[in-house]
Amino acid sequence: MPNAASPEVVAIVGVGLIGRAWAAIFARAGWQVRLWDPHAPTLAAAPGLIREELGKLARHGLADDPDGAAARIAVGASLADALAGVSFVQENGPEVVEQKRAIFAELDRLAPPDAILCSSTSAIVASRFTEGLPGRARCIVAHPVNPPHLVPIVELCGAPWTAPETVERARAAFSAIGQVPITVRKEVDGFILNRLQGALLAEAFRLVGEGYVSAEDLDHTVKDGLGLRWSFMGPFETIELNAPGGIPDYCARYTGFYKGLAHDAAGPEVYESPNIDRVAAAWPHAATPERVAERTRWRNERLAALAAHKRAAPDPA
């Protein structure tokens, strides 16, 4: 677990669920963390919630000194105060282009000129909200997965004008704090993870909506089947090990079937009525606040245990 002393300072702008997770990640890695949010109650509650999450991480061996990490977190009196002297900014605002443009204009105006400006956006490419900025070369998307303090992937996607140095510095910084950055080489809607997730989700909606399988058995197919391999191997390594001659052999043996599937791919209608109504009716659990909160706690505990296991038995490749 990275925990070396570091002179680096990061501003976390927007301290909802994702912003608080980023604060915990940077603080446990030794960074000084500044918090800011335009919503005063959210900002006031954030340090305590982050301290609580650091304690949970420590119980799984995922944070060496939770009290020390929490002590490195401070609340900015203003956005300008939070940005003073930072080398890195992680923005976590609403998924609205106009709001992204407004906040990045402020970040570009107020942050030190050598600070990298990252956005946690999950769907909006950087060219849509950074084009007119004087410092647009230092702006980049750094898309995490919820919850980022337990799922380490970070998708780095610059605009056409993002400087290569920005990508390199961002990748080095995220690696140093214990995340797993990947570089999206050119802008694409949804980046990489959501496009892969979308392909699986569309087929899941079709298979359940058209009555081929129950919603719960569909989930079992992933969590007790594909997901077990995918927790430590990607799709290319998976198929490499499923044919004696590796990927070329797998393609020669099986892609005739997959070509047929590609010709009959699920379309956008799977997310519309009546199919979405059938899927919702097939799921046997009511999404009460109590159930969602309890299952979220359970998910996070299981992810923490998995993260600890993967840290104890790293990939030797």
Rounded Cα distance between 137 and 14, Å, is 22
The pLDDT score that the predictor gives to residue 10 is 98
The pLDDT score that the predictor gives to residue 317 is 78
The pLDDT score that the predictor gives to residue 40 is 97
* Predicted structure pTM score: 0.93
> 155 with 142: CB under 8 angstroms?
yes
Rounded Cα distance between 194 and 180, Å, is 16
CA angle 302, 305, 306 (to 5 degrees): 85
Strands 73-75 and 88-91: unpaired
What the block records as the tokens of 300 is 């996070």
**Position 133, amino acid:** L
Q: What is the pLDDT along the chain (317 residues), one digit of tens a residue?
A: 334 334 599 999 999 999 999 999 999 999 999 999 999 999 999 999 999 999 999 999 999 999 999 999 999 999 999 999 999 999 999 999 999 999 999 999 999 999 999 999 999 999 999 999 999 999 999 999 999 999 999 999 999 999 999 999 999 999 999 999 999 999 999 999 999 999 999 999 999 999 999 999 999 999 999 999 999 999 999 999 999 999 999 999 999 999 999 999 999 999 999 999 999 999 999 999 999 999 999 999 999 999 999 999 888 87
Helices (H), the chain: 17-28, 40-59, 66-71, 79-83, 97-110, 127-130, 164-176, 193-209, 215-221, 227-230, 235-240, 246-263, 275-282, 289-312
Beta bridge partners of 88: 10, 116
Rounded Cα distance between 27 and 35, Å, is 11
Rounded Cα distance between 5 and 71, Å, is 13
Give backbone dihedrals phi and psi of 9, rounded to 5 degrees, phi first.
Answer: -130, 130
> 134 with 108: CB under 8 angstroms?
yes
What the block records as the tokens of 284 is 């046997």
The pLDDT score that the predictor gives to residue 7 is 57
The pLDDT score that the predictor gives to residue 1 is 38
Measured N-to-C along each axis, helices 40-59 and 17-28 cross at an angle, to the nearest 10 degrees, of: 50
The pLDDT score that the predictor gives to residue 5 is 38
Residue 94: name the closest of 86, 103, 106, 85 by CA.
103
Beta bridge partners of 144: 154
Rounded Cα distance between 38 and 258, Å, is 49
The pLDDT score that the predictor gives to residue 316 is 85
> 15 with 43: CB under 8 angstroms?
yes
The pLDDT score that the predictor gives to residue 65 is 96
From first CA to last CA, the distance across the chain in angstroms is 19
